Amino acid sequence: MNSRLSEKEGLASLMLRLRGEGISDRTLILAAEQTPRSLFAPPAYSDLAYSGRTLPLDCGEYMEGADLSLRMLHLLGLGAGQRVLEIGTGSGFTAAVMARIADRVVTIDRYRTLSQLAGQKFEHLGLKNVVAQVGNGLDKDAVDGTFDRILVTAAFDSMPRMFVEKLVSRGVMITAIGPAEEPQMLVRLTKTGSRFEREDLFPVRFQPLLGTAAAVL
């Protein structure tokens, strides 16, 4: 998007679509309005930043459509004072939006290129409470401490039970579960005691979560 007007038009269209889906969380909407999505979209696709299309990123990764990104954040139930872990930094857009709501956001990606680019954009926006780091998303000990919310923009083959201990009591995790070659199910997992309560949400198609940091990229 080359003009301020087109940025506003794209955002307005997105907001109308979200309201049509019943998403009217003012805190989330304000955070999205304050985070220019075109800054995070690849330059060749900046005019599609607010569309529902998946956009290609460096390292063979992609940026989820605007509708899906904000729908997942709505389902996550973000709030002030929370610590949030994101696995799969991608463009950095969702982490930036979360940082405007939560107290602290840690976002991990296996690709150094994506992590560094996201970090530069966080700095450009003056976001001091979000940290981008390179790591193995399957390693529950890649970051210290526990979190109120965990967002995973990739798919597990099966229930990620090893992440139960990374959530506080009644903490929430949003992720996809299912084989890589088929549509997966986006699920909301709520910690109860030492286990998860599972709520199936809707089908998605995410890349599988890989268990190593990229050696080169």
pLDDT of residue 180: 81
Question: Mean per-residue pLDDT for 27-32?
Answer: 96
DSSP string, 49-101: TTSSS-EE-GGG-EE--HHHHHHHHHHHT--TT-EEEEE--TTSHHHHHHHTT
What does the pLDDT look like over 171-206, one tens digit per residue?
Answer: 999 999 999 888 899 999 999 999 999 999 999 999
Which domains, from first to last, does the chain contain?
A: 4-204 (3.40.50.150)
pLDDT of residue 3: 42
Question: Mean per-residue pLDDT for 204-212?
Answer: 82
- Least reliable range by pLDDT among 45-54, 58-67, 139-148: 139-148
Helix (H) or strand (E) holding 184: strand 184-192
Residue 16: is its pLDDT beyond 80?
yes
pLDDT of residue 140: 77
Pull the structure tokens for residue 73.
């954040």
216: pLDDT confidence band, cut at 50, 70 and 90?
low
Residue 141: is its pLDDT beyond 90?
no
What does the pLDDT look like over 70-129, one tens digit per residue?
Answer: 999 999 999 999 999 999 999 999 999 999 999 999 999 999 999 999 999 999 999 999
Cβ pair 131, 106 in contact under 8 A? yes
Strands 147-156 and 83-87, bridge-based pairing: parallel
Residue 66: is its pLDDT beyond 90?
yes
Could you tell me the pTM of the whole model?
0.93
Taking residue 196's Cβ as centre, other Cβ atoms within 10 Å add up to 21
Question: Mean per-residue pLDDT for 138-153?
Answer: 90
Question: Mean per-residue pLDDT for 23-36?
Answer: 95
pLDDT of residue 211: 61
- The rounded mean pLDDT for the chain is 92
pLDDT of residue 212: 59
Residue 213: is its pLDDT beyond 60?
no
Residue 2: is its pLDDT beyond 90?
no
